[in-house]
């Protein structure tokens, strides 16, 4: 894999992101409906997920066009989400664990994620899920976690070395 002008070989990687988004809506009212938060999560990590991914930035000659054809460079995306009310502040917030197996350089665009979450949250709130619209962007924390499929990566690397020697 790699563009026609790419002298750098691509390798399969797995990027794991632990993401927290906080609505900053402080309430201990158990009747406050978390469905607007879940709806916003579904929008961010569903069909619109490519809107929050950034490809690159190193080696634009190799990775610069990856955003034009993301399905060619992303092997698999898995996401697990949860919504909860903070025990101290009462703020509705959510977590997402995003795992992306890919052949590119991938980052999460924090500002795009915040904007998409706010937009989807406000759409859900206006659709009658009982929420007050958000005025500010949600608080967002993105943590890059260690790769969990290192055995697969090493096996692929070794097979690449064997193929290079035998071909």
pLDDT in tens, 136-166: 999 999 999 887 665 565 555 555 444 443 3
User: How do strand 91-102 and strand 74-85 relate by DSSP bridges?
Assistant: antiparallel
CA dist., res. 15 & res. 121, Å (int): 26
- The pLDDT confidence band at residue 8, using thresholds 50, 70 and 90, is low
Say which residues have a Cβ less than 8 Å from residue 123's Cβ, sequence separation at least 6: 39
Q: How far is CA 133 from CA 12, 38, 64, 94, 115, in A?
A: 41, 14, 37, 17, 13
> pTM of this prediction?
0.79
- The pLDDT confidence band at residue 4, using thresholds 50, 70 and 90, is very low
CA dist., res. 40 & res. 35, Å (int): 8
103 within 8 A of 55, measured Cβ to Cβ? no
- Predicted confidence at residue 130, as pLDDT, reads 61
Residue 5 has pLDDT above 60, yes or no: no
């Amino acid at each position: 894999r790699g563009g026609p002008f790419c002298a750098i070989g691509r390798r399969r990687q797995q990027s794991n992101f632990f993401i927290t988004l906080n609505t900053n809506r402080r309430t201990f009212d158990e009747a406050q409906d978390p469905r607007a938060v879940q709806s916003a999560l579904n929008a961010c990590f569903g069909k619109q997920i490519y809107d929050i991914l950034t490809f690159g930035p190193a080696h634009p000659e190799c990775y610069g066009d990856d955003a034009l054809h993301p399905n060619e460079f992303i092997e698999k995306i898995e996401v697990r989400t949860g919504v909860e009310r903070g025990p101290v502040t009462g703020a509705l917030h959510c977590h997402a664990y995003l795992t992306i197996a890919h052949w590119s350089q991938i980052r999460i665009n924090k500002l795009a994620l915040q904007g998409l979450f706010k937009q989807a949250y406000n759409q859900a709130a206006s659709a009658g899920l009982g929420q007050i619209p958000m005025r500010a962007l949600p608080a967002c924390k993105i943590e890059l976690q260690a790769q969990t499929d290192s055995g697969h990566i090493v096996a692929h690397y070794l097979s690449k070395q064997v193929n290079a020697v035998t071909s």
